[in-house]
Every structure is written in C-alpha cells, then in structure tokens.
Chains A and B, each alone.
Chain A
Amino acid sequence: MTPSTISHQETLIESSQKFNAPRLIDRIFFWLTVALAVSVGLILLWITWSLLSIAFPAIAEFNIGFLFSQVWNPVEDAYGALPQIYGTIVSSIVALLFAIPLGVGVAVFLSENFLPRKILTPIAFVIELLAAIPSVVYGMWGIFVFIPFILPGLQAIYGTFGWLPFFSTQPSTRQLFATALVLAIMILPTIIAISRDSLVSTPPELRQGAYGLGATRWETLTRVLVPSALSGIIGSIMLALGRALGETMAAAMLIGNSNRVSASLFAPASTISALIANQFGEASGLQRSALFYEALILMIMTLLVNMLAEVIVNRFQQVE
C-alpha cells in the first residue's frame, strides 16, 4: 500500500469519529425506526399471547372438536365454532363472488378511456367515498332499506330455484345472502381502487405492443393488461377478503346470529366477529374463553389469507 492511500484512510477514520450533526440525526433516525419496528412486532406477539392464554381453558376443554361443534350453550358451558366458521367463510366467498367481477370490471372500465376524464374523476371519487361509509351505517341501511328492497327478488329466486340446496328456505329478513351482498358493496371500493391503480400503472408500451400486433382493445385488455396487472388485482381481492372476513358491525346487524349451519343462503347464520360482538358484554368464564378461541380462529384465518396473498402475488410476479 502506498503512503498516500494510508493517509487517505486515516482521514476517513478521523472524520468518522468527529462529531457530525447530520450523521447523529441519521443514527437517531435509524434507531427510532428499529425501535418502532420492534414494538410493532411486540404488540403483535402480545395480542397473540393474550388471545392464546385467555382462550386456553376453552382450548383445553374442547380441543380441536371446537371447530366442528354446532353447540353454543352457556347454561351447560358447551361451545363450538362451526356455525361461525361456516358463516364467516361462506359470507365472504359469496361477497367475493359478486365483488370480484363487478370490481375488476369497473376497474378495467375506469382504466380505459371509454369516458372523458371529466366524468371519470367524479366516479372514482364517489367510489372512494363508498369506502368511507362507517360499517354501522351499512348495517342500518341494510336492515331498513336494502333487505326490504331485495326480499321480493329473493322470494322469486326461492320460488323458481327452491329445489337447489342454497336457496332451499324461505328468505328470512336476517340472512347470510343479503349480508354477503352488503359485504360485497363494502369491499367493492378496495377491489376497484387497487385494481384500477395496477391497471393504470401497466406500462403504455405493453398496450402499444399488443395493438401493434393487431390485437383488439378487448384482446389487449384481457390477454395483456389484466394479466400484467394480476398481482395487484389479486392483492386487492385478498385485502377485500380480509375485510369481509373480519367485518363485524354490518354482519352482526344483518346476518341473524343463528347458531345453526344451514345449506340455504337465505337462512339466518352467524359469523365469528358477529358472535363475539353480540356476546362479549355478558360473557365470563368458559364462555369468554370460548369467544377468545373463536377470535384466535379468525386471526389464523386472516393470517392465512394474507400469507396466501403473498404467495400468489410472488408466484405471478415470477412466472408471468
């Protein structure tokens, strides 16, 4: 090593030891970030641990059978989560069944220049407002307006398709299907906003490339733009699913809180969060513990959805 490089190194070392305000701020900022990140992790651990420990008596008592039992009897202290698990999953899936085609369709529509910008911007704004409506408002609207509004239609479906298991009961005024529809409306803005963003941010070169090969607008959309925005679209769906799974207020108000698994979507049902919201006030002892067990199940479900979303998004980013 030549002397000049040595002295150069020395000055480097010296300067790093000198007091230096910007660097100090850098350090403080760094540790602050670390502290915040760690504390978020700790809070997550704390919540999980509390759930586990309070749920523990119920876990010890009912074990895995809790997931398959339809009993909810505070008098005899016998509890099971099957109706809630079923109701949570089915209401979310039915909601997605409606929200995905509608949401992705609207997102595609808004991402194309079918309409002049002057009209598009207010539409996009209104859709975002939809996300800002509190869920209790959705619940009230559902009870007093939406369910009475769709009930005749559901009656007609029951009349014609009553032989199908999903429609095999007289439509009740509190029921799973109507709840799922309201959930669909609630999660629609999530799907639309994120899908639209990912469609809009596909590179314009892709569109030009597809058009340049003689693809129609429809072919370009369905075979190039939507696939290339797919990871964002799937992300939006997973986020929406997460919201539907955990939605409490609207579900508690609309679903009827029946503790039975019925194949018919027109029958009252229950969801995990609705059950918890309804019973938490007066629960104690093993009942409270069972509610925590249910909460734990819900948390695991949403966790799985999130992990699945990560996997799917990564898969598509690699292969597609």
Chain B
Amino acid sequence: MTNPSTRPTSTNNAVSDDVVIRTENVSVYYGAFQAVRNVYLDIPKNKVVAFIGPSGCGKSTLLRCYNRLNDLIPSARVDGKITYQGIDLYDPKVDPVEVRRRIGMVFQRPNPFPKSIYENIAFGARVNGYKGDMDELVERSLRGAALWEEVKDKLKQSGLSLSGGQQQRLCIARTIAIEPEVILMDEPCSALDPISTLRVEDLMHDLKQRFTIIIVTHNMQQASRVADLTGFFNAEAGEGGSRFGYLVEYDRTEHIFNAPKEQATQDYVSGRFG
C-alpha cells in the first residue's frame, strides 16, 4: 500500500505539457467525513484523462470540485488548492458561475431539460450571453455530438422524447455549445448501450482536439480506449474506521494498464480487486 499522503512521483513524469488544471494536496470533506484525501494531480491540455477506481472512492467528488458543483452540497468543503490556468478556483473572488462556463459537465444519468431539443442547446448559450446565430450554433453543436442526422427534423420535440443514448449526446451537445475549455464527464456511458457508448467514445476523440476532457468510468476498456492518462483511485479505512478515497497512481494509460507501479492498481485493472 502506498502512503496516500506522499505525492505519487509518476504525476510529474506523466504530465509535462501545458497544465490546465492543477490539483495540489486536495482533500474533500462532507461535514466531518473526509471523502478524498491529499490528491495531487495535473490535467494537461487537449488530453483525455480517465479516473478509475472502486465505487465510493471519491471520483465524482473530486470531479465536482473542478467546476465547483460541490458548492451545491452545503456540507461539502474543499481543502488544498485547485488552480485552473494558474487561477485558484476556490479564491473568494472567483465566481463559481464563471468557472462552470469554462469547465462544462456531462452527468452519469442523461439529464436533458424538459424543453425542446433546440432549447436544450440554446439554454446554455443564452445564459452565457451568446449573441451569434442560434440556429447555426444548435446545428454545429448537434453535429459535434454526432446527433444532428438523427434529430434535424424534430428540433422542436422535447429532449425527453429521445432515447437514453441520444439524450446523453444531447447533453454533450449542449455542453459543447457553451464552448468550455474543459469537459468533465461523470460515467457518461453508464446508462448507454454498447453502440451508443462507442459513438460517445468516438466523439471524445474528436472533442479532444478542442477540449480537455476528464472522464470518470467503471469500464476498463473504455478507459484504455479513450484516455491518454489514467488516475486510479482507491478507498481505504482510515483512523476511526471511515473510508477515505485517495489517488493511488496516475500515469499514461498504457502504463496503468500494462505496467502499473502499485499492486493495488494491478489488482484492480486485472479484475482481481476486492
């Protein structure tokens, strides 16, 4: 077992390019419960980074720190420092709304708004003060999410009338529409069939040209297919018996899957976990 409070050295080797998000000694608490402990992790620009690890180890919790969505949970508290392009995200002067405009998010369950397909996409653009041609933006975003061909004749229909896979691509489209710099995806394919999953994965390859992507997934194949870098998280019982999550190992994806440094990683990626 690694001592979770020491900084994994692999981080530095893995990330030499432009760093978009830097996570320095981050711990997250829900009330008195520490969900994530001492994470150091850098996200490079225009890469796909996967977070893997057993349930409850704090992947979603950490992900939600990057766009300050944990602000919605009154008991949540973040320690340590997260910088986005050098700016401390938790600086009191930083407007969380502005953060979320730059760092978009796609959720585990597709959550289209109960509005038309068109309005689902226009909503984000409008609240971001988009002044350009809305029709053009809607089409571009839907094309970007590989959904245009399927919905171009029914843009006025409710987003809820789409299939689950289409809904998830709609959610991706509405996130692309606000032109964020980073897209956070929390198990975006867990509710999708294999075909839709592959389409979303293809999409990530395209999106990587323009965006930086962090994806949480339970699907090892998916992580190995889409991610340039992979972070393996684990949970461990701390003093007092409550389980906290921590980053075990963070490295190039092929290293994580083929030659991990840690035994725990090896066990997890080879399915011998727990």
Enumerate chain A interface residues (CB-CB to B < 8 A): 113, 203, 205-216, 219, 223-224, 227-228, 318-320
As a 0/1 sequence over residues 78 to 105 of chain B, the CB contacts with chain A under 8 angstroms (1 = contact) are 0000000000000000000110110011
Taking a contact as CB atoms closer than 8 A, the residue among A205, A207, A213 that contacts B109 in the complex is: A205
User: Is there contact, CB below 8 Å, between A207 and B113?
Assistant: no
- Of B171-179, B192-200, B258-266, the segment with at least 4 beta carbons within 8 Å of chain A is B171-179
User: Is there contact, CB below 8 Å, between B113 and A209?
Assistant: yes
- Of B39-47, B120-128, B216-224, B225-233, the segment with at least 4 beta carbons within 8 Å of chain A is B120-128
Distance between B115 CB and nearest chain A CB, rounded to angstroms: 7
Collect the chain B residues with CB atoms within 8 Å of residue A212's CB. 67, 69, 100, 104-105, 107, 175
Collect the chain B residues with CB atoms within 8 Å of residue A228's CB. 113-114
**Looking at A208, A224, A318, which has the most chain B CB atoms within 10 Å of its CB?**
A208
User: Is there contact, CB below 8 Å, between A227 and B97?
Assistant: no
User: Is there contact, CB below 8 Å, between A319 and B100?
Assistant: no
In Å, the complex CA distance between A209 and B74 comes to 18
**Looking at B69, B97, B101, B113, which has the most chain A CB atoms within 10 Å of its CB?**
B113
In Å, the complex CA distance between A127 and B67 comes to 37
Taking a contact as CB atoms closer than 8 A, the residue among B74, B97, B109 that contacts A214 in the complex is: B97
In Å, the complex CA distance between A228 and B120 comes to 13
Taking a contact as CB atoms closer than 8 A, the residue among B97, B111, B116 that contacts A209 in the complex is: B111
User: Is there contact, CB below 8 Å, between B158 and A320?
Assistant: yes
Q: Which residue of B lies closest to A320 (CB)?
A: B114
User: Is there contact, CB below 8 Å, between A223 and B107?
Assistant: no
Given the known inter-chain contacts A205-B107, A214-B100, please indicate yes or no for A223 contacting B123, CB distance below 8 A: yes
Collect the chain A residues with CB atoms within 8 Å of residue B114's CB. 206, 227-228, 320
User: Is there contact, CB below 8 Å, between B72 and A211?
Assistant: yes
Interface majority SS (helix, strand, loop, mixed), chain A: helix
Distance between B164 CB and nearest chain A CB, rounded to angstroms: 13
Enumerate chain B interface residues (CB-CB to A < 8 A): 67, 69, 72, 74, 97-98, 100-101, 104-105, 107, 109, 111-116, 123-124, 127-128, 158, 171, 174-175, 178
User: Is there contact, CB below 8 Å, between B123 and A210?
Assistant: yes
Q: Which residue of B lies closest to A220 (CB)?
A: B127
| Known interface pairs A215-B124, A223-B123; 16 further A-B residue pairs with C-beta atoms within 8 A, sorted by A's residue number | A203-B111, A208-B72, A208-B105, A209-B171, A210-B127, A212-B175, A213-B174, A214-B97, A214-B98, A214-B100, A214-B124, A215-B97, A215-B127, A216-B97, A224-B113, A319-B158
**Looking at A213, A223, A318, A320, which has the most chain B CB atoms within 10 Å of its CB?**
A213
**Looking at B104, B105, B112, which has the most chain A CB atoms within 10 Å of its CB?**
B105
Distance between A200 CB and nearest chain B CB, rounded to angstroms: 15
User: Is there contact, CB below 8 Å, between A113 and B74?
Assistant: yes
User: Is there contact, CB below 8 Å, between A213 and B100?
Assistant: yes
Collect the chain A residues with CB atoms within 8 Å of residue B175's CB. 212-213
Q: Which residue of B lies closest to A213 (CB)?
A: B124
Collect the chain B residues with CB atoms within 8 Å of residue A320's CB. 114-115, 158
Distance between B60 CB and nearest chain A CB, rounded to angstroms: 11
Collect the chain B residues with CB atoms within 8 Å of residue A210's CB. 113, 123, 127
Distance between B145 CB and nearest chain A CB, rounded to angstroms: 14
Taking a contact as CB atoms closer than 8 A, the residue among B100, B109, B115, B116 that contacts A211 in the complex is: B100
In Å, the complex CA distance between A272 and B81 comes to 68
In Å, the complex CA distance between A110 and B111 comes to 24
Given the known inter-chain contacts A205-B109, A224-B113, please indicate yes or no for A214 contacting B69, CB distance below 8 A: no
What are 7 A-B residue pairs whose CB atoms fall within 8 Å in the complex?
Answer: A209-B111, A212-B104, A213-B124, A214-B101, A216-B97, A216-B127, A228-B114
In Å, the complex CA distance between A206 and B110 comes to 10
Distance between A112 CB and nearest chain B CB, rounded to angstroms: 11
In Å, the complex CA distance between A32 and B169 comes to 49
User: Is there contact, CB below 8 Å, between B113 and A206?
Assistant: yes
**Looking at B74, B100, B171, which has the most chain A CB atoms within 10 Å of its CB?**
B100
User: Is there contact, CB below 8 Å, between B127 and A223?
Assistant: yes
In Å, the complex CA distance between A3 and B105 comes to 60
Distance between B134 CB and nearest chain A CB, rounded to angstroms: 15
User: Is there contact, CB below 8 Å, between B127 and A213?
Assistant: yes
Collect the chain A residues with CB atoms within 8 Å of residue B174's CB. 213
Collect the chain B residues with CB atoms within 8 Å of residue A214's CB. 97-98, 100-101, 104, 124, 127-128, 178
Distance between A93 CB and nearest chain B CB, rounded to angstroms: 29
Distance between B51 CB and nearest chain A CB, rounded to angstroms: 17
User: Is there contact, CB below 8 Å, between A207 and B115?
Assistant: no
In Å, the complex CA distance between A17 and B123 comes to 61
Q: Which residue of B lies closest to A229 (CB)?
A: B114
Collect the chain B residues with CB atoms within 8 Å of residue A207's CB. 72
In Å, the complex CA distance between A214 and B130 comes to 12
Collect the chain A residues with CB atoms within 8 Å of residue B124's CB. 213-215
Q: Which residue of A lies closest to B124 (CB)?
A: A213
In Å, the complex CA distance between A216 and B174 comes to 16
Collect the chain B residues with CB atoms within 8 Å of residue A216's CB. 97, 127
Distance between B26 CB and nearest chain A CB, rounded to angstroms: 20
Distance between A38 CB and nearest chain B CB, rounded to angstroms: 37
Collect the chain B residues with CB atoms within 8 Å of residue A215's CB. 97, 123-124, 127
Distance between A210 CB and nearest chain B CB, rounded to angstroms: 7
Collect the chain B residues with CB atoms within 8 Å of residue A213's CB. 100-101, 104, 123-124, 127-128, 174-175, 178
Q: Which residue of B lies closest to A231 (CB)?
A: B114
In Å, the complex CA distance between A203 and B111 comes to 9
Distance between B40 CB and nearest chain A CB, rounded to angstroms: 25
Collect the chain B residues with CB atoms within 8 Å of residue A319's CB. 116, 158
In Å, the complex CA distance between A113 and B111 comes to 22
